[in-house]
Chain A
Amino acid sequence: MRDYYAQYVTIGIFAIVAAVLVVGTLQLSRLLRPSHPTAEKLTTYESGIDPIGAGWAQTSVRYYVYALLFVIFDVEAVFLFPWATVFESLGTQAFVEMVIFVGILALALLYAIKKRLLEWL
């Protein structure tokens, strides 16, 4: 019998240890490394010139479309995994259900391609 909680305790502890490792190493190297900040050193790198404009971010609409498509297929994947474990015992019915599901999402991808949403940039 598996020990459900013990497994997750291990994972949790590993997460904490990994985080502590990063923070700890950074603290440790603080003892060793020099620290002489100067204004020039702390300037944002922009090919050796003072940055033009700052403090804001902008991106292309295309990225949003990619992310949206990703969300949709990610949801699909979440349903795919429980299905993968049981479809053999459930037989044709479950298979057809998934075919329809995947088919509809494939339509989404097709639509995106057809609307040239993946054309860049």
Chain B
Amino acid sequence: MDVARTEENIRLPDEVAQEVAEGRLQTEQMVLNVGPQHPATHGVFRLLATIDGEVLVDAEPVIGYMHRGYEKLVEARDYRQITNLVSRMDWLSGINNEMPLALAVETLMELEVPPRAQYLRVVLLEMNRILNHLMFFASFAAELGAITPTFYAFREREDIQAAMEMATGGRMHFGYMRPGGLKEDVPKGFFDQALFGVRQVMDRIDDYYNLIIGNEIYKQRTIGVGVLDKELAYNYGVSGPIARGSNIDFDVRKDEPYLAYADFDFEVPVGLNGDCFDRFWVLLHEVYESARIVEQAIEGMPSGPILGKVPRVIQAPEGEVYVRCENPLGELGMYLVSDGDRRPYRLKIRTPSYNNVSVLPVVLRNTFVSDMIAILGSFFFVLGDIDR
């Protein structure tokens, strides 16, 4: 990165903080509600900000406007129904949400998943990851005031969206995963469309670089802004692109390969300083890596059944297990306690956005109002994922 991380960039907030603390700069503080109805909060997220002039003295996220009580609801539904329920948590990565549930049931039931299903799952998961990341690419740029990337990103999304629709019939909530495999095989022409979509993205990623990452104003706005310390990230259980932005090489796909991820060659992009720039940089690189995985998976696609030997009624045996997947936004884990019924006895859903956002008060302290928006945008969260 060719922009010097000047002292100035990093020191300023502390200095201001000190002045505020000593009362030298103190004008009256005012309490500002950012959200729940605010253009920058992706849904009903509320930030209670205490500001002094343009400096955020304190910030307290208020969540719960979308709480639907999934953990209670799932106790009254069978696994097939839950698939469709959890799909709606992080509505930008529906099929990724369904994955750990299927994995958890498969683990408890010791089901074999046929290789074609594993490869197909990878294709769908990674395409969904691209969809998700492109959306955040668009929204983050829009929050920084650049309006064009939104349209570019949606153009690319559309091609991939079409492939997803061919396979699953849905655009957001796919409901395509089954314990033991997939609902059905993909239709003819799916692979062509998928390849077309991801290659399109790979080709155009240079444009995105030129338009956003290479832009001097963009660098000024993001470098050194909202630095998330590595230890802090561990402490709060921050995962996904945000953790990787903070120089944490942590990717479930590499660390504990599930499905067929061990078969593919891909890199885990890792940022340097944990500022907004790094988080965004990681996000964009992951798009590229996911596109590569999709290409490899389609090229090596085995034939065979897409559903293993699964009993007609899915009843996980007694036991408990924690299963996790690398969701687009981070580690999505499910702690499944089963007492042998068709329904889970207790399903703790550990969503990535929840942990990622919980660190916000620390990161937001003593930033500028404008930086607050950049930081919120770079924390890539989905409200449904926080509130469940």
A and B touch in the complex (CB under 8 A): yes
Residues of A within 8 A of B (CB): 46-49, 51-53, 56, 58-63, 119-121
Binds A, one of B46-54, B106-114, B189-197, B312-320: B46-54
Sample 12 A-B pairs with CB under 8 A, ordered by A number. Answer: A47-B33, A47-B36, A49-B36, A52-B32, A53-B31, A60-B53, A62-B53, A63-B53, A120-B368, A121-B16, A121-B53, A121-B368
The residue in chain B whose Cβ has the minimal distance to the Cβ of A48 is: B37
The residue in chain B whose Cβ has the minimal distance to the Cβ of A62 is: B53
CB-CB under 8 A for A46 and B33, given A60-B54, A121-B55: yes
Known: A47-B34, A47-B41, A121-B16. 10 other contacts (CB 8 A): A48-B35, A48-B37, A52-B31, A52-B32, A58-B29, A60-B55, A61-B25, A120-B54, A121-B54, A121-B368
Q: Tell yes or no: B362 within 8 A of A by CB.
A: no
The residue in chain A whose Cβ has the minimal distance to the Cβ of B50 is: A52
Query: Which residues of the partner chain B approach A61 to less than 8 Å between Cβ atoms?
Result: 25, 27, 53
Residues of B within 8 A of A (CB): 8, 12, 16, 25, 27-38, 41, 46, 52-55, 368
Assembly CA distance A63 to B37 (angstroms): 29
Which 7 interchain pairs have the tightest Cβ spacing?
A60-B53, A48-B37, A47-B38, A58-B28, A52-B31, A49-B33, A47-B33
Q: A46 and B12: CB pair below 8 A?
A: no
Query: Which residues of the partner chain A approach B46 to less than 8 Å between Cβ atoms?
Result: 47, 49
Q: Which listed residue (A53, A56, A60, A119) contacts B52, Cβ 8 A?
A: A60
Pick the most buried of A56, A119, A120, A121: most chain B CB atoms within 10 A of its CB. Answer: A121
The residue in chain B whose Cβ has the minimal distance to the Cβ of A60 is: B53
Query: Which residues of the partner chain A approach B25 to less than 8 Å between Cβ atoms?
Result: 61
Assembly CA distance A61 to B28 (angstroms): 11
Query: Which residues of the partner chain A approach B27 to less than 8 Å between Cβ atoms?
Result: 58-61
Q: B33 and A58: CB pair below 8 A?
A: no
- Least Cβ distance of B64 to chain A in Å? 13
CB-CB under 8 A for A59 and B53, given A47-B46, A53-B30: yes
The residue in chain A whose Cβ has the minimal distance to the Cβ of B37 is: A48
Q: Which listed residue (B8, B30, B37) contacts A58, Cβ 8 A?
A: B30
Assembly CA distance A60 to B29 (angstroms): 10
Query: Which residues of the partner chain B approach A53 to less than 8 Å between Cβ atoms?
Result: 30-31
Query: Which residues of the partner chain A approach B52 to less than 8 Å between Cβ atoms?
Result: 60
Q: B33 and A52: CB pair below 8 A?
A: yes
Q: B12 and A119: CB pair below 8 A?
A: yes
- Least Cβ distance of A45 to chain B in Å? 8
Query: Which residues of the partner chain B approach A120 to less than 8 Å between Cβ atoms?
Result: 12, 54, 368
The residue in chain A whose Cβ has the minimal distance to the Cβ of B51 is: A58
The residue in chain A whose Cβ has the minimal distance to the Cβ of B30 is: A58
Query: Which residues of the partner chain A approach B12 to less than 8 Å between Cβ atoms?
Result: 119-120
- Least Cβ distance of B273 to chain A in Å? 21
The residue in chain A whose Cβ has the minimal distance to the Cβ of B24 is: A61
Q: Which listed residue (B28, B32, B35, B41) contacts A56, Cβ 8 A?
A: B28
Q: B35 and A47: CB pair below 8 A?
A: yes
Query: Which residues of the partner chain B approach A58 to less than 8 Å between Cβ atoms?
Result: 27-30, 53
